Amino acid sequence: MPRTLITGGAGFLGSHLCERLLKEGHEVLCMDNLITGDLANIDHLFGHPGFKFIKYDVTEFVYVEGGLDYILHFASPASPIDYLKLPIQTLKVGSLGTHKALGLAKAKNARFLIASTSEVYGDPEIHPQVESYWGNVNPVGPRGVYDEAKRFAEAMTMAYHRFHGVETRIVRIFNTYGERMRVNDGRAIPAFMSQAIRGEDITVFGDGMQTRSVCYVSDLVDGIYRLLMSDYSDPVNIGNPDELTMLDLAKEVLEIIGGSSRIVHKDLPEDDPKVRQPDITLARSLLGWEPQVSRREGLARTAAYFREKVR
């Protein structure tokens, strides 16, 4: 039975990864300090013979008794509302946390996968974004704490791969949605859905013509698992290339939720990317992966979850 550590395992993506790896026959150690994670996300896994939860801050020295085969480093605030509120913690988990997790991977001879992000591309000048693009990031802007933490994490991961021979994988995650996103997450789909369910105005920033490409969580997790099991060490984009404007996304959410909410516009946040679309040519050829769940179906599943959570 492979033994796998997932940092940030009580978060949105981490909890889905815990489920997937348990289904694949892994013993899963879920580590989280619960700054943005939630035990409710993994409550159904307690009592599973292959699952163990460890409350711990990965920026401290990490020791795990026994062997490890895989480490997935997903610990980090991931929404603008979180990393603007927790800037130092975001930088620390991307730097110190990545260093500690990589040190553990080296000590245990474990394969290491880092959760990077499309935010390493910043406000891109190349569209769609391909892995060879180096990005256009403002390092001293308010979003720089997240963007640069992830860029540093990628550099540290490659340094451990090249210098220490650690088996490493880097996934660049594009916008993802689904069950277990927090109602107050601050990202577009949770915000649109919670506002529509409450009958409030739906807030779209700027003119709404900025674009995103949103991927349903089960598709993302499948891509991550395939990358983990591959032999490829350079970054790989995982996301849905089906691009749409934020205004159109708000309209789709309102159509699914129903009700009489109006769409209103507010000022665009500083350094908000104007476009975001992954080039997934590499994922298709290397992993045989591409999204399977349509946006309509994924939004409907997510809406059912939010109807139960929004008060």
Between the alpha carbon of residue 104 and those of residues 5, 50, 152, 249, the distances in Å are: 10, 21, 18, 41
Give the pLDDT confidence of 144-194 residue by residue, as tens digits. 999 999 999 999 999 999 999 999 999 999 999 999 999 988 899 999 999
Q: Is 146 a catalytic residue?
A: yes
Domains detected in the chain: 3-176+216-238 (3.40.50.720), 181-212+242-277+293-309 (3.90.25.10)
Residue 202 contacts residue 39 (beta carbons within 8 Å) = no
Among candidate residues 186, 182, 194, 211, the one with its CA nearest the CA of residue 254: 194
Catalytic residue among 146, 160, 177, 216: 146
Between the alpha carbon of residue 114 and those of residues 59, 105, 128, 154, 155, the distances in Å are: 15, 11, 22, 7, 11
pLDDT of residue 223: 98
DSSP 262: P
pLDDT of residue 311: 80
DSSP 218: H
Give the pLDDT confidence of 228-264 residue by residue, as tens digits. 999 999 999 999 999 999 999 999 999 999 988 999 9
CA pair distance 36, 98, nearest whole angstrom: 17
DSSP 261: P
pLDDT of residue 269: 84
pLDDT of residue 77: 95
Cα-based angle 254, 259, 263 (whole degrees, multiple of 5): 50
